[in-house]
Structure 1
C-alpha cells in the first residue's frame, strides 16, 4: 500500500468555519463586528498562515509524488500575533482596539514549519501572499455575516477557546 503523510500547518481561506475558535476566524469576526480584537498573552508568540489553495497544491503534489516520508505543508513566514491582529484590523477598517488578556496554558510560543522536504521533493512552496488571501477571507466572512442578517444585537458568537 502506498502512503503519503502530510503535516498540515495553519490554513485559512474562504469557506472556513467562522466559529472554529482559531485566531484567523476570531480576529476577522471580532473586527467585522466592531468588537475588541482579543490577543492572548503578550502577543509576541508567532504563527504562520498558508492560504487554502497553497495547501491543496501541496497535497496534490505529495499525492502525485513517490515520496513516502512525512512532509510539512505550511508557510514558513512567521508573524507575531500582535502583527497579525494589526493586519486584520487594517484590512477590515473600523476602530477596533486590540486588547491583551491572560495567556492560554500550553500556548506554543513559536509555530513555523520547516518546508525543506516539500521544496526539495515536491518542488512546492506557498505562493499566496498573506494580505491577498486574508482580503479574500475577510470578504467571505463579510458576506456570510450579511447572509446571517448580522445586526449589533445579533452578533455571531466567537468560541473563546483558542
Structure 2
C-alpha cells in the first residue's frame, strides 16, 4: 500500500480579494484554525411498499439546495483588522477562495471559489493573553472546486 500524500493544516485557508489588485486574493494574517463545511438541504418523503403497505416505508430524499460555510479563528493580527472589518461591514458578497494546498501544490492542491458574506466577526481579549479573532462566512451562490495551477 502506498503512503497517501496529505496536507498540512496550515494550508487550509480563507483568501479574500485584494482591495488594490483586482483578481488577486490574499490570506488575512492571524488565523490558525479553519473549518470548511458543505451541507445539503433535502426534502424527505416516506415511500411505502406497494405490495405490503404495512412494512416500514423507506425514506427517499431529494436535494433542494446546497450550502457552504467556513469558520476560522486565531490571533488578531493588527494587519488584518481593516480587512476583517471591511469584509464584515460590506452589504455586498465578496468573491473568495478557500484553499487546501499552497500555490506550489499544482499536482494535489485545490481551492473553492465563489461569493461569500462574512456573517460573523468576533474579537476577544483576555488579560495576559493576545487578542483573538473568530470569523464565519456563508456562501452567496455556487462554490466551484478548482485545481491549483502554476
Normalized against structure 1, the TM-score is what? 0.24
* Larger RCO: 1 or 2 (CA < 8 Å, sep 6+): 1
Normalized per residue, which structure has more helix?
Answer: 1
Normalized against structure 2, the TM-score is what? 0.25
Return the index of the structure with the highest Cα Rg: 2
Normalized per residue, which structure has more strand?
Answer: 2
